[in-house]
Homo-oligomer: A and B are copies of this chain.
């Protein structure tokens, strides 16, 4: 197939590469000219503008937008839509808020444009491992781009198959290949959003666990209660036969093998929206989500020295007990 890709950053560039490796043609555009040239050197077709891209695509035209969520994606989708007619397909492969998808799909449907949202997991490893994709949109459009999706997905690979699947009950055969059609527009990003919410929770569980391992050598403990544990070896051993083996643990083991002190990192941790939206969804549904929320808040907390709330605690303690603050 021939596909236009807008946004050639870490994710978009590799998506173009993986598609080309599978024999698909890509027409590529980015605000940043060198990014286009780099892909063109790998046999992608360079586009000078969205209009140019449109003219270089077959009908129906297929656009894959791979930009930061929010304004960049919104504006680009709008610009592309202005060039499109009935049957054309616009895919948002970024991390958009799923309610934006629902809105956009409705608006674009009035012109006959087909909108697909693809939640894409895999990070910088996706070029080699393939991308796990959660897809929302109309069936005919999702079916139309299936060759592309199949090329991007990891495929069965060496991962053992799940016993009991596909016995009977209308499961999606694509799931084993690493992509699913999750539901109507928005469903793809909704599932990806929850994926990231879970990701925050898993990461924080490991973070707290390693904190406790490291803290076992701390001066808060009597000397005969301390262990000086080798965190690198512990991460490695847990990868092998333990209940908590995972890809995030693999990554932790790599980082710790490189430097057990992790001193290259300050510990100021970003969050990218999906964690917050996951909590919003939980609250709308009235689902308690203490772990996912605590994981998100740990990131907020990592980015400030002291909260005003902390100061108020100290002020109250001074107020009732005359307590002065601890030296830090």
Spot the interface stretch: A40-48, A76-84, A137-145, A293-301: A293-301
> How many angstroms between the C-alpha atoms of A308 and B295 in the bound complex?
15
Contact B153–A195 (Cβ < 8 Å): no
17 contacts between A and B (CB under 8 A): A121-B241, A162-B236, A165-B257, A174-B237, A175-B232, A178-B241, A195-B243, A201-B209, A210-B308, A211-B288, A221-B285, A246-B249, A247-B320, A251-B320, A286-B300, A288-B298, A302-B313
Max chain B Cβ within 10 angstroms of own Cβ: one of A121, A125, A200, A318:
A121
What 3 A-B pairs are tightest by C-beta distance, nearest first? Answer: A201-B205, A246-B246, A267-B310
> Quick one: which of B165, B183, B279, B291 contacts A279, CB cutoff 8 A?
B279
With CB as the reference atom, state the residue of chain B lying closest to A228: B183
Copies of this chain present? 4
A73 within 8 A of partner (CB): no
Q: Is the CB of A212 within 8 A of B285?
A: yes
User: Is A280 close to B, CB under 8 A?
Assistant: yes
Query: Does the CB pair A312–B255 fall under 8 Å?
Result: yes
> Looking across the interface, which residue of chain B has its beta carbon closest to that of A136?
B227
Residue of B nearest to A182 (CB): B229
Report yes or no: A319 in contact with B254, Cβ–Cβ below 8 A: yes
- Complex CA–CA separation, A279 to B156 (angstroms): 39
- A302 with B306: in contact, given A162-B239, A242-B195 (CB under 8 Å)? yes
- Chain B residues, CB < 8 A from A239: 159, 162
> Which residues A98-132 have CB closer than 8 A to chain B?
121-126, 129-132
Which of B202, B253, B303, B326 contacts A205 (CB under 8 A)? B202
Nearest B-chain residue to A323, judged by Cβ: B270
Beta-carbon contact of B176 and A236 below 8 Å: yes
Which of A25-33, A54-62, A64-72, A185-193 binds B?
A: A185-193
Pick from B211, B269, B314: contact of A325, CB under 8 Å: B269
Beta-carbon contact of A207 and B288 below 8 Å:
no
Asked if A49 is at the interface (CB within 8 A of a chain B CB), the reply is no
For the complex, what is the distance from the CA of A246 to the CA of B15, rounded to whole Å?
24
| Interface residue? A199 (CB, 8 A) | yes
Residues of B within 8 A of A317 (CB): 203, 269-270
Instruction: Please tell me if the beta carbons of B234 and A134 are within 8 angstroms of each other in the complex.
Output: yes
Q: Are A209 and B195 in contact (CB under 8 A)?
A: yes
> A221 CB to closest chain B CB, in angstroms?
6
A305 within 8 A of B: yes
Q: Is A177 an interface residue (CB 8 A)?
A: yes
**Chain B residues with CB below 8 A from A202, complex form:** 201-202, 205-206, 244, 246
